[in-house]
Amino acid sequence: MTEPLREATGALEAPLAGCCFDLVVDAAGPGPVRVTVADELGVAWKDGTLSMRFSDPSKESVGAGRTLRFEPLASLTSLRVVGDASSVEVFANDGELCLSTRYYPERYRVAVDAPGARVRLWDLAR
């Protein structure tokens, strides 16, 4: 894999040149982790639950009518979020738990809040 577009510890926020990206959060630790995609989709791990939630449930362009998904996940060691023009795939702990949804954002950006974690972002459109 090529060098990441952005790399940070704990927090990262970046606009994307296009719709395709690959985000990796390693060694997340015991604290909560939050990833926001296109200001519309939140992926979070907190208190032993991994969730995916759209901020505006009235939008028909996202989630096929499902605005919230969640599954128990006792600990989080890694989180990978891969997005393209119409979908987001989430892989927790190297695939131990996976979530996916379709979405059609109006703009492309990613924000991460993961205290102490290594965060890397690849903009696959570049």
pLDDT in tens, 105-119: 888 899 999 999 999
Q: How many domains does the chain have?
A: 1
Range of the domain at 115: 6-123
Of residues 70, 83, 78, the one with CA closest to residue 110? 83
Between 29 and 44, whose confidence is greater?
44
> 63: helix, coil or strand?
helix
Structural tokens at position 88 = 């987001």
CATH code assigned at 102? 2.60.120.560
Question: Coil, strand or helix: which one is 85?
Answer: coil
Within its chain, how far is the Cα of 81 from the centroid? Answer: 4
Residues paired with 89 in a beta bridge: 82, 100
Is there a domain that residue 73 lies in?
A: yes
pLDDT at 3 over 80: no
Residue 1 located in a structural domain: no
> What is the pTM assigned to this prediction?
0.89
- Say if 49 falls within a structural domain: yes
pLDDT at 5 over 80: no
Q: Is residue 114 part of a domain?
A: yes
